[in-house]
Structure 1
Amino acid sequence: MNYMYNMSIDFHNYVVILLLVLIGLNFVLLFRAKNVFSYRKKMAYLTPTIAVLLASILFTGTIMMAAKHLDFTLANIAMIAIAIAFIVLEAKRVKPIKRLKDVPEAIPVYRDFAKKILSIELLIVLVISIWMWI
């Protein structure tokens, strides 16, 4: 049982680091985007990947909580709240991409909007990660 718990913690940490890398990749793609069509095409691959990573984080967190006999600590409650906030922010960020038309003014306007949301996502994931790793 202890082996499964330790393996779950390690996997959980690696997936969180990978999520941070993908948020950084999102920033790079956002700032390098020249037109809506190519950006939407790249996001069609990246968005499901982020969703799978978030699901992996939630799944491993659930395994760890089950191993601790569903002991709700402040850290567990904070991670659940962060996961819900991340899902809501990601949905708000992705929704306008569907409606963007391929006009030159669309990317700069969307870039400002998405930059704020990605910054918040990066900040909350970094803060909870630093809190858990210390």
Structure 2
Amino acid sequence: MKKGEKKKVGRPSELAECLIRAKEYLLGGYETFGDVVPSVAGLACYLGKHKSSMYEYAKQNKEFSDTLEAIKTLQENKLINGGLTSSFNPTITKLMLSNHGYSEKQEIDHQSSDGSMSPKPTRIELVTPAE
């Protein structure tokens, strides 16, 4: 310890304690807590805090921010694997993966690549009533 530095005494800060517990949640605590996949909302419940506090802590502390990102990445990975093995509900998995940038895209080609099946114009004839 350098001259003039104060020794930290007392209880660690709330943020420091939350960081330790957030890492614990990430490394399997979420399963012990009963969560199927880790989430920011799950972490907030695990810590007994508001979800908005998680984002505030992330703004204040790079390590906490990195831990939140790791939780989101692990969630994405678990959703992909659970979806591929059909162990997760497909509708909920699809919905949750949309939060990670995944989307379902359907393209409808109304014309064949060689043009042989292109839509033909519809001929309309007007018929006048007979007098």
TM-score higher than 0.5: no
TM-score (norm 1): 0.35
Write 1 or 2 for the structure with the bigger share of helix: 1
Largest Rg, 1 or 2 = 2
Which protein, 1 or 2, shows the higher relative CO under an 8 Å CA cutoff with sep ≥ 6? 1
